[in-house]
Amino acid sequence: MHMWFNTGMMSAGMNMLKEKLPMANFDAVLKGTVSAVSISFENGKISAKSKQYYNDEMTKVIAANRPQPISADIINRLPSSDVVAVMAFNFAPNTIKDVLKMLGVDVMANAFLATKYQTGIDELLNATKGNVVLAISDPQMNTDTMSFGGRTQIVPKMPSAKFLLATSVKDRAAFEKLMGLVGEAKKQMGGKDEGGTNWGARMPFLSGINYKLENDWFIVSNSPAYTDKFVAGGNNNFPFANKITGHPMGAYVDLQRIIRFFGSMAMAKDSSSAEMNQLALNTWENITATGADFNGKYVESEFEVNLVDKNTNSLKQISQFMDKVSSYNKRRIQEEGRWHESMNQAMPDSAAMAPGYGK
């Protein structure tokens, strides 16, 4: 299956930024942008490949700012053996500066930063190397407490997981200034971390979350131990790492782990839900994606949905899966209808039970 989109025309029609920045020349960036996508249903997997074409000027910007491929070392240093999903990407910070020039707002942006924050685009872009990784791991069911009406009550078990967002730091002073600007934009105040740097005041939206700037990394996580282990480095040698590295962007989602986790939840412990959970486990395996590869003319990306059965065409498997889901839903609706009918029959007639009825 092949698809073609005039992305530039679609983006121009839906670009809300034109109202906010009428002086910006968005056409210089968007005009001539075209997307071509092909989807194939192979045995055991669904594959999608895309090519993104840009106008000549934007192509020159991309060619001059090619990001480095993701290193397996960054993925393998994630401090967990139970990674559910991960996405990593590299970008060339100078791309932002070149795009601002194309938009015609670079001078205005520099003037604004110099007047209000005593800095400039070059200094802020020097804050990061352009490496970013986001991971979700260790899903579990947690019991918590909640105060209501002066009483503390136990909240039923809720799903939770560890998350980590890390970005590489090039110039620590510039990065601290960048984070300070973000904090000022929020116009709120927060707490102070153990290191003495008032990150809470600078980034109040991180209040209650662990964050650390150390060893050329800025890490945000909901687990201090998770953060410290990432900073220390390590090598978990994940089997999926080689599938998503070697490109400027890579992502992985463990569908089996997600299905098993939700299948273990209390809401999924009845026999009918267990049946659907097993059907999903027998069908879906994982998702991998790579992209942002520039070959001189266009940017390429690939996306795969891998299935458990490697010997049957994926389109046939999806059709069979949907048929079984439809059959299950019909049966569930019928069972619920019979249950409601039996409950109505078991209940005494309200009129017959009314005091003095029939006198």
Cross-strand pairs, 131: 90
**Each residue of 212-233: pLDDT tens digit?**
888 889 998 988 888 899 988 8
Q: Which among 203, 87, 89, 72 has a CA at the least distance from the CA of 136?
A: 87
The residue among 41, 40, 44, 42 whose CA lies nearest residue 282 is 44
Q: Alpha-carbon distance 117 to 138, whole Å?
A: 40
Q: Is 119 buried (19+), middle (13-18) or exposed (0-12) by CB count in 10 A?
A: middle
pLDDT of 55-105, one tens digit each?
A: 999 999 999 999 999 999 999 999 898 999 999 999 999 999 999 999 898
Cα–Cα distance for residue pair 52/3, rounded to 1 Å: 12
Tell me the whole-structure pTM to 2 decimals: 0.81
Q: What is the pLDDT of residues 97-126, one digit of tens each?
A: 999 999 898 899 899 888 887 889 999 899
The string of DSSP codes covering 245-275 is -SSSEEEEEEHHHHHHHHHTSGGG-SHHHHH
CA distance 142 to 82: 17
Closest-CA residue to 131 (of 56, 202, 68, 200): 68
